[in-house]
């Protein structure tokens, strides 16, 4: 049982280390947020693909501790080994498993590449043997790469604008300097590769395999997550390579929904508010926009993190979507508070004036940095980082599994 003092080793928008107790404490607080919201509409069985961080983790916690579902998660995380610590996602799930076991709730995790044939097979076997047909499937992957086993092809995600170069402000996360960023436009091959990784192909493949295996309950619903954002991030996000992939994701939702509707179910893309995730931190201009947005929304009392949004989604908006309360494109709008005209106007006004010298005064960059560090278990209030902590934290077995 190795005990070590774990220090942050942050490089750009990733951390090479994760603090086990810091991650555990964050998960405990997120579970408290879920429980404080009160009971959600109940679910029997749920599958969360991309379950270890961000919106996927929030979905797993809401399914398990809010809706009372027996929940199976799929992730690709590094397990601890000897004196080598695990990834933040691993430690997040280790605490979720511990809490589930203590409360007699059924949680299992399949750790592996969600794109692969082997992981899909393992998931189908687990569902057939220990769960049963699914009431909810959440698809929350944010992957940098996808390998196609059938063809041998490999595709990588690219964060680039489409049609014209991007020129705009951004933050250097290492120095806190506001600087001009320049990114050349994507090639046709880069656009296609990003759609292959981040579009709806794999979501559709999962849903079709679940249908063929008889593992979708009558009225089954499925969700994927996306983002639109304001004008300041449009060129690099919604009108960029990622945006093309998200357009494909939304088209896929309509196709899946047409099939599920025959049994009273449906598929939706939920457009969520900007939050700090490992994926979003890599998007140029996003960190600066988010830091300003956080200040504006905190001043208005409307700021939400990932878990608060998914609580609202599971507690209210999913049922409303089933009754037809969606936008003109059939999407759930959890970004409604971010996209209020007064909020966007205020953010745009600050954007024009912001520079390195006034970053702390005009934005919530300090809060953004705190959220970023907490993704890896650092900077969490109440955790003694000078104390050695247990590295070897397993994913506890579900009761009866």
Catalogue the active-site residues: 237
What is the helix (H) or strand (E) element at residue 66, kind and residue range?
none
* Structure tokens belonging to residue 1: 């049982």
Report yes or no: 198 and 157 within 8 Å, Cβ to Cβ: yes
- Helical segments of 215-340, H only: 231-234, 241-260, 286-300, 306-312, 318-322
What count of Cα atoms within 13 Å lies in the side-chain half-sphere of residue 133? 12
Report yes or no: 146 and 197 within 8 Å, Cβ to Cβ: yes
DSSP 224-251: EEE----HHHHTTTTTBHHHHHHHHHHH
CA proximity to 63, closest of 16, 96, 20:
96
* Structure tokens belonging to residue 233: 């991030």
DSSP 356: G
E strands along 126-210, which residues?
134-139, 145-147, 154-156, 166-172, 177-183
Sort residue 70 into left (φ over 0), alpha (ψ -120 to 50) or beta: beta
**177: Cβ–Cβ under 8 A, 6 or more apart, which residues?**
171, 356
C-beta neighbour count of 63 within 10 angstroms: 30
Sign of dihedral through CA atoms 65, 54, 46, 308?
A: positive
Sign of dihedral through CA atoms 326, 332, 337, 338?
A: negative
Sort residue 202 into left (φ over 0), alpha (ψ -120 to 50) or beta: alpha
C-alpha 85/C-alpha 79 separation (Å) is 7
The 3-state DSSP class for residue 268 equals: strand
* Structure tokens belonging to residue 183: 């990114």
3-state helix, strand, coil in the chain (%, to 5): 45, 20, 40
């Amino acid at each position: 049982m190795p005990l070590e003092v774990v220090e942050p080793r942050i490089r750009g928008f990733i951390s090479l280390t994760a603090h086990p107790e810091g991650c555990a404490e964050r998960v405990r607080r997120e579970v408290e947020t879920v429980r404080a919201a009160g009971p959600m509409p109940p679910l029997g069985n749920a599958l969360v693909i991309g379950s270890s961080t961000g919106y996927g983790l929030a979905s797993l916690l809401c399914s398990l501790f809010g809706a009372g579902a027996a929940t199976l998660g799929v992730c690709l995380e590094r397990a601890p080994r000897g004196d080598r610590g695990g990834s933040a996602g691993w430690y997040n799930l280790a605490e979720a498993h511990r809490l589930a076991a203590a409360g007699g709730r059924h949680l299992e995790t399949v750790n592996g590449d969600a794109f692969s044939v082997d992981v899909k097979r393992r998931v189908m076997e687990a569902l057939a043997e220990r769960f049963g047909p699914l009431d909810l499937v959440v698809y929350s992957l944010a992957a940098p790469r996808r390998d196609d086993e059938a063809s041998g092809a490999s595709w990588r995600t690219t964060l680039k604008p489409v049609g014209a170069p991007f020129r705009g402000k951004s933050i250097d996360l290492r120095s806190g300097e506001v600087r001009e960023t320049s990114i050349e436009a994507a090639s046709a091959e880069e656009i296609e590769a990003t759609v292959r990784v981040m579009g709806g192909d794999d979501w559709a493949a999962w849903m079709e395999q679940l249908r063929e295996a008889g593992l979708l309950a009558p009225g089954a619903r499925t969700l994927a997550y996306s983002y639109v954002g304001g004008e300041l991030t449009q060129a690099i996000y919604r009108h960029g390579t990622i945006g093309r992939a998200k357009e494909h994701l939304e088209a896929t939702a309509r196709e899946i929904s047409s099939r599920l509707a025959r049994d009273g179910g449906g598929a939706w893309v939920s457009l969520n508010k900007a939050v700090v995730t490992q994926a979003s931190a890599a998007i140029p201009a996003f960190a600066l926009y988010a830091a300003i947005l956080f200040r504006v929304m905190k001043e208005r009392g409307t700021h939400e993190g990932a878990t608060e949004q998914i609580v609202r989604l599971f507690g209210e908006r999913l049922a409303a979507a089933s009754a037809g309360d969606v936008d003109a494109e059939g999407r759930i709008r959890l970004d409604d508070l971010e996209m209020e005209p007064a909020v966007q106007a205020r953010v745009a006004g600050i954007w024009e004036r912001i520079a390195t010298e006034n970053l702390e005064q005009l934005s919530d960059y300090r809060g953004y940095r705190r959220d970023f560090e907490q993704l890896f278990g650092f900077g969490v209030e109440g955790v003694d980082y000078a104390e050695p902590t247990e590295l070897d934290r397993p994913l506890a077995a579900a009761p009866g599994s």
